[in-house]
């Protein structure tokens, strides 16, 4: 490896958005065109437009650090590497994994040029479909306990409910973790009103999109999977009924306590 190669190589961490190509930013599209190599979780790599001569390195879902190290090695060899994530790369995605690899790497890793290109997050895509549920303070919590203890998740759920935030759940359920979402909803039902608006937004923006608008008391946790973004309202979040059998809008007023 030469200093000249190192100066030419760089890493572009790209957010692909929740699914549809129209939610891919122009900046991200440009990065996918100029990249010599694409690295990412297999389904995300497949979503990126194909370009002749571009090398693709798809891998499994649980090898984020390996992907990050691979990207660093390619960049140090003079390659322009696009590391792709769904949604926004800084939200439960590859940007953190890349910097973790740099933090635990050597000095040559710290010299690599890295650019993070934002994308539309699943939370933003779901909120846009539903109305304006994120109109006031909100937080996002991953229900995956692969990288943190469940006790930490419960503590954060309790704090978010007591703080009266709108809450977005990422990674609510998987085949390996079918009970997490049931446990989370049971905890929230002990802390929040049953009439609290809840939405399950699955595969937002994709052909199999499904939106379910319900309440905390009535929600069926078994309908959640890894493609579902869950939104739980605050005490202020409201339904706006619509005619002709359409699902109600959900919004959270900008002024806390205005409706009381």
Question: Per-residue pLDDT averaged across 83-94, rounded?
Answer: 95
Give the whole-angstrom CA distance, residue 23 versus residue 17. 6
| pLDDT tens per residue, range 162-203 | 999 999 999 998 888 889 999 999 999 999 999 999 999 999
Q: For residue range 125-160, list pLDDT tens digits in order.
A: 999 999 999 999 999 999 999 889 999 999 999 999
Structure tokens at 78: 């003079």
Average pLDDT over residues 99-125: 96
Separation of alpha carbons 155 and 132, rounded Å: 27
Average pLDDT over residues 23-45: 95
SS3 per residue for 89-121 = CCCCCHHHHHHHHHHCCCHHHHCCEEEEECCCC
Region 34-54: what's the mean pLDDT? 93
User: What domains appear along the chain, each with residue ranges and CATH number?
Assistant: 3-120 (3.40.1010.10), 123-251 (3.30.950.10)
pTM of the model: 0.90
User: If pLDDT is split at 50, 70 and 90, which confidence band does 27 have?
Assistant: very high
Q: Which of 60-64, 78-82, 212-216 has the lowest mean pLDDT?
A: 60-64
| Cβ contact 168:141 at 8 Å | yes
Which ranges constitute the DSSP H helices of 14-63? 26-34, 42-47
Average pLDDT over residues 239-252: 94
pLDDT at 260: 55
Of 174, 229, 198, 249, the C-alpha closest to 19 is: 229
202 phi/psi in degrees, rounded to 5:
-105, 135
Mean pLDDT within 63-84: 96
Over 80: is that where the pLDDT of 252 sits? Answer: yes
Residue 115 has pLDDT above 50, yes or no: yes
Mean pLDDT of 49-53: 90
| pLDDT greater than 70 at residue 34 | yes
pLDDT at 7 over 60: no
Distance from C-alpha of 243 to C-alpha of 246, rounded to nearest angstrom: 6
- Enumerate the β-bridge partners of residue 213: 199
Lowest mean pLDDT among 1-5, 15-19, 90-94, 239-243: 1-5
Mean per-residue pLDDT of the chain = 93
Residue (of 211, 71, 208, 30) closest to 127 by Cα position: 211
Residue 5 is predicted with a pLDDT of: 47
- What three-state secondary structure class fits 161? helix
pLDDT value for 259: 55
Q: What is the mean pLDDT of residues 208-236?
A: 96
């Amino acid at each position: 490896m030469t200093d000249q190669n190192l100066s030419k190589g760089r890493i572009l961490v790209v957010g692909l958005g929740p699914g549809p190509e129209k939610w891919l930013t122009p900046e991200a599209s440009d990065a996918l065109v100029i990249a010599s190599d694409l690295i990412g979780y297999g389904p995300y790599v497949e979503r990126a437009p194909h370009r002749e001569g571009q090398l693709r390195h798809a891998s499994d879902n649980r090898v984020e650090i390996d992907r990050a190290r691979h990207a660093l090695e390619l960049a140090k060899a003079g390659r322009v590497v696009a590391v792709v994530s769904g949604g926004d790369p800084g939200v439960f995605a590859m940007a953190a994994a890349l910097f973790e690899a740099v933090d635990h790497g050597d000095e040559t890793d710290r010299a690599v040029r890295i650019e993070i290109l934002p994308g539309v997050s699943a939370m933003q895509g779901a909120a846009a479909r539903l109305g304006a549920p994120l109109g006031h303070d909100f937080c996002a919590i991953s229900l995956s306990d692969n990288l943190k203890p469940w006790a930490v998740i419960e503590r954060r759920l309790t704090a978010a409910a007591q703080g009266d935030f709108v809450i977005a759940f990422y990674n609510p359920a998987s085949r390996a973790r079918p009970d997490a979402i049931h446990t989370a909803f049971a905890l929230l039902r002990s802390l929040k009103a049953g009439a609290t608006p809840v939405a399950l937004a699955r595969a937002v923006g994709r052909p199999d999109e499904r939106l379910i608008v319900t309440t905390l008391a009535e929600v069926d946790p078994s309908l959640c999977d890894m493609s579902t973004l869950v939104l739980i309202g605050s005490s202020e979040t409201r339904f706006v009924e619509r005619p002709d059998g359409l699902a109600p809008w959900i919004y959270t007023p900008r002024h806390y306590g205005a409706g009381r």
